[in-house]
Amino acid sequence: MPDPALRRWLFLVLVVVSTVAATAQLWSVLRIDGVGILEGTILFLFAILFAWIVSSFWVACFGAWSRLGRTQLLPLKSGPAPGLTASRTAIIMPGYNEDVTGVFAGVRAIYESVGARPGFDFYILSDSTNPSHWVAEEMEWQRLRRELGDNIFYRHRPQNIGRKAGNIQDFCENWGRLYDYMVVLDADSLMTGDTLARLVTMMDANPRAGLIQVPAQLVGRTSLFARILQFSSSVYGPLYNAGLAFLQQADGNYWGHNAIIRVRAFMAHCGLPKLPGKPPFGGEIMSHDFVEAAFLRRGGWDVWMAPDLGGSFEEPPPTISDFLKRDRRWCQGNLQHLRIVFAQGLKMPSRLHLVMGIMSYLSSPIWLVLLIVSAVEMLGVKPHPAAVFTNTWVGGIQPALPLSLSHTVDLLPLVLATLAVLFGPKLLSVVLLMRDPQALRAHGGLSAVLRGVLGESIFSTLLAPVVMLQHSWFVFNILAGIATGWGAQQRQDRALPIGFVIRGFAAHTLIGVGAALILYGTGAFGWFVPLLAGMLLSVPLVWLTSSLELGERLHRAGWFLVPSETQGLPVLERAHTLAAAQGPQVDARQLVLEDATVRGLHLALLADTPHPPSSHEKLQQLLDSARRRDTSGFSREDWTALLSDAESLKALS
């Protein structure tokens, strides 16, 4: 199947045929009692959702096909040997109130991995609004330049205008024309020097490539939840990524980080509009990456995924709570795409990417409504009288047998098909691992992989109803016009206090209790047990999976192993070593007042990026307090005002 269009048409046919067959099977069951409004609603919602899950199944199947057939998933020229290039590349790390130690440890680990390769400059682009973070970043940047080289740059914006997309836009406007390419990272991203060099040579050799996305492997966290995510990413991720690359080809997508971008193409086509109206559907586009990929394709540039390149990593959220908190922002950003998906000039694959992102959140309330309607339908079914079946034999009459009608047997093929769709990709992933002895050993061997897949499957089954309820609540709030901000993410491992978990997930438990009481004793109860179990166990599930101790114990017992643990990962180990070597953090704000060297650095950088002035009277009060070293009552706003005013700081000298 060399033609991408033929692959996509085959994929569409398979999804449609599978959905029609499953929906027809359900209709054959529902029509026994007559098809009314409830039954029609069930059929409609089921068709949408089955198409959604079966599309992932067929993506995985195409991934397996491409792997087994050794299909070239990135048909680009490789270019000259890495390092033999005159191109200039900016590696940019946007940040917003991030952990300073972790961010700069990651930048240094990447810098050292790049080594002496020419043509790379590093930019730390800070939007931090916390004054302590702001000054600490300046100090860490100065230390990096002193110890590593002068091709590491730092810029602080006084206001987080446009969020990450605005931060990158500011870089392009000020320094973009100095570079051929930029590699966009996240605060927890890591990439190896070899991968970065290969990306540059690929862009050099393929002048129509506007962006190459390298899927990031999840690594580096210790909590049980994070380790399960890392295992899933390592075992299942390559299969899905191969399927996507096989189908997308040059119509790929952008995931916001760990990708190389042709700066000229990005500057020409990726300016983001401000949507009319107020948030959550209006204002700045929050999920910018899908839109930027769509705009690159509209401008005639190719967008590729490189699933086999490797050397691309990021850290997962440490707990279910942090995972869902991040999803709240993504949900709002993806639902904004409802206003973009029909934009003029977008290519059909780009529209499909936007639709898939929207459905990743809309599917939850659709599932919830389907479950409610199905429960109402099941509770309203009246028991049928015994049916009498007779059959005339050649030699006589078969005795009449009273049998009660049941939908269980009729639904069994549909249940089995759904299980195959949900769990088939996991089995395919195991099969592919078994064909690669080295990869299998890197995951602890076959028994460890099977044990991990079983444990992950149980966990994901219990987590699914929790996520469904939470995403449904997100969508409801957004439709009600309630917007959310985009604060700093929690990226460090932490064990959640039980009280915090109870407050956050008691509602899930109560919903499960209520649903169980309504359904108990009815014929519908057995069908809902897996969903009810996840709701009823939501509090212990969230609490236990946040445990670092439990994560470490299972690691030692050989559960959820990934290659970065069994074989080592130098760039990750270096970043963790650097972060661990840092001593206790001092109050960097106070150092500006007390240390002339720190104050001089801050003033020099302040001259390059002037900040909005505060009132003279307010500044005079703050200055008087600073002279008396009486800053204990300063608010964040007070510190920001004082540290933003060069004249006041000079008066302290």
Question: What DSSP letter does each residue of 195-236 carry, written as one string?
Answer: HHHHHHHHHHH-TTEEEEE-PPEE----SHHHHHHHHHHHHT
- Position 491 pLDDT exceeds 50: yes
Give the per-residue pLDDT at 461. Answer: 95
Domain that holds residue 643: 588-650
Assigned domain for 437 exists: no
pLDDT tens-digit map of 206-216: 999 999 999 99
> DSSP code of 612?
P
Measured over the CA atoms of residue 15, residue 18, residue 21 and residue 22, the dihedral's sign is negative
Give the per-residue pLDDT at 393. Answer: 40
Residue 113 one-letter amino acid: S
Among residues 363, 476, 439, 487, which one has the least CA distance to residue 67? 439
When comparing pLDDT for 344 and 633, which is higher? 344
Give the per-residue pLDDT at 407. Answer: 59
- Position 451 pLDDT exceeds 60: yes
Tokens of 191: 């990439």
Segment (H or E) for 388: strand 387-393
Assigned domain for 596 exists: yes
Segment (H or E) for 396: strand 396-403
* pLDDT band at residue 395 using 50, 70 and 90 as cut-offs: very low
Mean pLDDT across 535-549: 97
Q: How many other C-beta atoms are found inside a 10 Å radius of the C-beta of residue 68? A: 12
Give the per-residue pLDDT at 190. Answer: 97
Assigned domain for 406 exists: no
Q: What percentage of the chain exceeds 70 in pLDDT?
A: 93
Partners of 302 in the beta sheet? 209
| Cα separation, 332 vs 358, whole angstroms | 9
Q: Please report the DSSP string for 104-142 in residue order.
A: HHHHHHHHHHHTT-TTEEEEEEE----HHHHHHHHHHHH
| Cα separation, 124 vs 317, whole angstroms | 22
Q: What percentage of the chain exceeds 90 in pLDDT?
A: 73
* pLDDT band at residue 633 using 50, 70 and 90 as cut-offs: confident
pLDDT tens-digit map of 309-322: 999 999 999 999 99
Cis peptide before 280, with omega less than 30 degrees from 0? yes
Assigned domain for 643 exists: yes
| Cα separation, 301 vs 291, whole angstroms | 14
Q: Do the beta carbons of residue 45 and residue 370 sit within 8 Å? A: yes
| Cα separation, 400 vs 511, whole angstroms | 46
Q: Do the beta carbons of residue 414 and residue 20 sit within 8 Å? A: no
Give the per-residue pLDDT at 307. Answer: 95
Tokens of 430: 């195991």
CA distances from 123 to 161, 182, 244, 367, 604 (A): 18, 10, 31, 44, 17
pLDDT tens-digit map of 192-202: 999 999 999 99
Tokens of 382: 């009246």
Mean pLDDT across 615-638: 87
Listed as own residue / partner, the contacts of 169-177 with beta carbons closer than 8 Å and 24 or more positions apart are 169/271, 169/272, 170/125, 171/90, 171/92, 171/123, 171/125, 172/263, 172/266, 172/267, 175/90, 175/123, 176/263, 176/266, 176/267, 177/263, 177/267
Assigned domain for 642 exists: yes
Give the per-residue pLDDT at 2. Answer: 57
| Cα separation, 118 vs 495, whole angstroms | 43
Q: Do the beta carbons of residue 73 and residue 307 sit within 8 Å? A: yes
pLDDT tens-digit map of 97-128: 999 999 999 999 999 999 989 999 999 999 99
Listed as own residue / partner, the contacts of 406-412 with beta carbons closer than 8 Å and 24 or more positions apart are 407/29, 407/32, 410/28, 410/29, 410/32, 411/26, 411/29
Mean pLDDT across 258-266: 98
Give the per-residue pLDDT at 388. Answer: 43
Q: Do the beta carbons of residue 255 and residue 291 sit within 8 Å? A: no
| Cα separation, 121 vs 148, whole angstroms | 12
Mean pLDDT across 180-194: 96
The angle at the Cα of 101, spanning 550 to 562, to the nearest 5 degrees, equals 40
Give the per-residue pLDDT at 380. Answer: 67
Tokens of 113: 């991995």
Assigned domain for 142 exists: no
pLDDT tens-digit map of 121-155: 999 999 999 999 999 999 999 999 999 999 999 99
pLDDT tens-digit map of 62-79: 999 999 998 888 988 877
Assigned domain for 113 exists: no
Segment (H or E) for 372: helix 348-380
Q: How many other C-beta atoms are found inside a 10 Å radius of the C-beta of residue 130? A: 18
- Position 396 pLDDT exceeds 50: no
| Cα separation, 437 vs 574, whole angstroms | 28
pLDDT tens-digit map of 36-66: 888 899 999 999 999 999 999 999 999 999 9
Give the per-residue pLDDT at 652. Answer: 81
The total number of structural domains in the chain stands at 1
Please tell me the least confidently modeled range out of 245-249, 330-334, 580-584: 580-584
Q: What are the b/e assignments for 607-638, b being 16+ CB within 10 Å?
A: eeeebeebeeeebeebbebbeeeebeebeeeb
Assigned domain for 395 exists: no
CA distances from 648 to 258, 323, 616, 640, 653 (A): 41, 42, 10, 12, 10
* pLDDT band at residue 390 using 50, 70 and 90 as cut-offs: very low
* pLDDT band at residue 404 using 50, 70 and 90 as cut-offs: very low
When comparing pLDDT for 170 and 392, which is higher? 170
- Burial (CB count within 10 angstroms: exposed 0-12, middle 13-18, buried 19+), residue 146: exposed
* pLDDT band at residue 83 using 50, 70 and 90 as cut-offs: low
CA distances from 290 to 279, 294, 305, 354, 591 (A): 19, 6, 13, 7, 42
Give the per-residue pLDDT at 391. Answer: 46
| Cα separation, 212 vs 303, whole angstroms | 6
- Position 259 pLDDT exceeds 50: yes
